[in-house]
Amino acid sequence: MCVDLIKLTIDGMEIEASPGTTVLNAAEALGIHIPRLCYDPSLSSVGACRICVVEIDGMRNLPASCVTTVTPGMVVRTDTPAVIEARKTILELLIANHPLDCMTCEKAGDCKLQEYCYQYGVTKGAFTGEEHHYGLEENNPFIVRDLNKCIVCGKCIRACAEITGKDILDFAYRGFNTKVTPFGNTSYIESDCVFCGNCVSVCPTGALTEKQMSGKGRRWELKKVRTTCPFCGTGCNFDLNVMDDKVVGVTSTNGPINGRALCVKGRFGWDYVHSPKRLTRPLIKKNGRFEEATWGEAFDLIATRFKEIKDKHGPGSFAALSSARCTNEENYLVQKFSRVVMGTNNVDHCART
């Protein structure tokens, strides 16, 4: 079915967009970046932060581009004096009740609020008044929550509801006292949080950070290595954050299977990589003790013992249990080995229901 494209102009450049396309996405297609704090392509749009405002001919106010859809003949300007002044005022209001401890903040270098304040030359002082002084929440092993740095964008709420499907978080109280919190204003550890960390991955400031990465390096110093999670067969992608050839944390990437979503194992269960208890060489028990061996010795022993067991007790004495952590190809080889080499159909799988 052919869909008629909508023609519009953004900053003097003409573009054709599909019906339902937002002004923000149309601008992105032209290479024009519009600031955003509450918007995320993987979440529903709410137009809460208003920093993405633009000027559109015929509209009295400055609409939020993330929730404004294109119309035929629309003329949009993204960098007029009125737009810039509005964005600066929004930033000034945000940092009026925001700690400026960027020198020690874990999110420095990866904080959208910091980035936009630098871009628009915004410093503290335009507005003064009462400020929040919440206690730092770090009573769980995975996530540090600093509500003093929360800008109430609601992205963590939507991530919990729309990505994880848990609805643990929501807005509490009103006006100046509005805050994001689990039911009953409890901490994460006291709630039904599953600690997937999807809320952390979408947070634009230092309000939510990975506890394991605290003090391990500045964000711009970390080398990101994209890999596939080994915990199950889903095949989620994420970035290993490496500092001095050592993994210090996991952050979301835009994976083809999982998008930016991860579970608690994928995001926070990586520390076994550097465990001193991790086996790096095959061990063979000799005289009641495990001793290091070569891979050749280990494979020879396995083949010999399998043959002895099959010859003595028959193929039915052998069974293979495969794993969801293996690839489809590896699981295929397990069952093929069991049936062809060992001569048995005793094959099962840990993910069978």
Q: Residue 323 falls within a domain, yes or no?
A: yes
Say which amino acid occupies 139.
N
What is the rounded distance in angstroms from the CA atom of residue 224 to the CA atom of residue 203?
19
Q: What is the pLDDT of residue 150?
A: 97
Q: What is the pLDDT of residue 2?
A: 58
- Contact of 270 with 250, CB cutoff 8 Å: yes
Residue where a domain terminates, one of 186, 214, 242: 214
Residue 39 and residue 120 share a domain: no
Residue 264 and residue 304 share a domain: no
How many domains are contained in the chain?
4
Q: Residue 92 falls within a domain, yes or no?
A: no
Compute the radius of gyration of the chain from its Cα atoms: 27
Q: What is the CATH number of the domain that holds 28?
A: 3.10.20.740
Residue 145 and residue 234 share a domain: no
Q: Among candidates 157, 136, 143, 146, which has minimal Cα distance to 113?
A: 146
Q: What is the pLDDT of residue 352?
A: 66
Output the pTM of the full model.
0.86
Q: What is the pLDDT of residue 183?
A: 94
Q: What is the pLDDT of residue 126?
A: 84
Q: Domain of residue 337: give its range.
A: 283-349
Residue 209 and residue 239 share a domain: no
Q: What is the pLDDT of residue 234?
A: 84
Q: Residue 23 falls within a domain, yes or no?
A: yes
Quick: pLDDT tens for 218-238.
999 999 999 999 888 788 999
Q: What is the pLDDT of residue 349?
A: 84
- Contact of 61 with 54, CB cutoff 8 Å: no
The stretches in the chain having pLDDT less than 50 are: none
Q: What is the pLDDT of residue 319?
A: 95
Residue 271 and residue 291 share a domain: no
Residue 321 and residue 259 share a domain: no
Residue 67 and residue 31 share a domain: yes
What is the rounded distance in angstroms from the CA atom of residue 335 to the CA atom of residue 142?
38
Question: What Å distances lie between residue 218 and 98, 109, 114, 250, CA to CA?
Answer: 20, 7, 14, 14
Tokens of 157: 């709420």
Residue 203 and residue 124 share a domain: yes
Q: Residue 97 falls within a domain, yes or no?
A: no
Q: Which residues does 18 contact at the CB level (< 8 Å), separation at least 6?
A: 3, 5, 6
Angle between helices 112-120 and 81-95 in degrees, nearest 10: 130
Half-sphere exposure of 246 (CA within 13 A, CB side): 10
Quick: pLDDT tens for 73-115.
999 999 999 999 999 999 999 999 999 999 999 999 999 999 9
Residue where a domain terminates, one of 237, 256, 276: 276
Q: What is the pLDDT of residue 259?
A: 93
Q: What is the pLDDT of residue 353?
A: 52
Q: What is the pLDDT of residue 171?
A: 97
Q: What is the pLDDT of residue 328?
A: 84
What is the rounded distance in angstroms from the CA atom of residue 214 to the CA atom of residue 242?
13
Q: Residue 253 falls within a domain, yes or no?
A: yes
What is the rounded distance in angstroms from the CA atom of residue 319 to the CA atom of residue 78?
66
Q: Which residues does 120 contact at the CB level (< 8 Å), separation at least 6?
A: 84, 87, 88, 91
What is the rounded distance in angstroms from the CA atom of residue 186 to the CA atom of residue 174?
17
In degrees and rounded to multiples of 5, residue 208 shows phi and psi of -130, 120
Q: Any idea which residue has 């970390």 for tokens?
A: 222
Question: What Å distances lie between residue 293 and 8, 258, 282, 306, 316, CA to CA?
Answer: 70, 39, 5, 18, 30
Q: Residue 100 falls within a domain, yes or no?
A: no
CA dihedral 121→123→126→132, nearest 10 degrees, is 140
Q: Residue 200 falls within a domain, yes or no?
A: yes
In degrees and rounded to multiples of 5, residue 172 shows phi and psi of -125, 150
End-to-end distance of the chain based on CA atoms, in angstroms?
Answer: 41
Q: Residue 131 falls within a domain, yes or no?
A: yes
Residue 70 and residue 14 share a domain: yes
Residue 328 and residue 244 share a domain: no
Distance of CA 40 to the CA centre of its chain: 12
Say which amino acid occupies 110.
D
Residue 289 and residue 272 share a domain: no
Residue 184 and residue 133 share a domain: yes
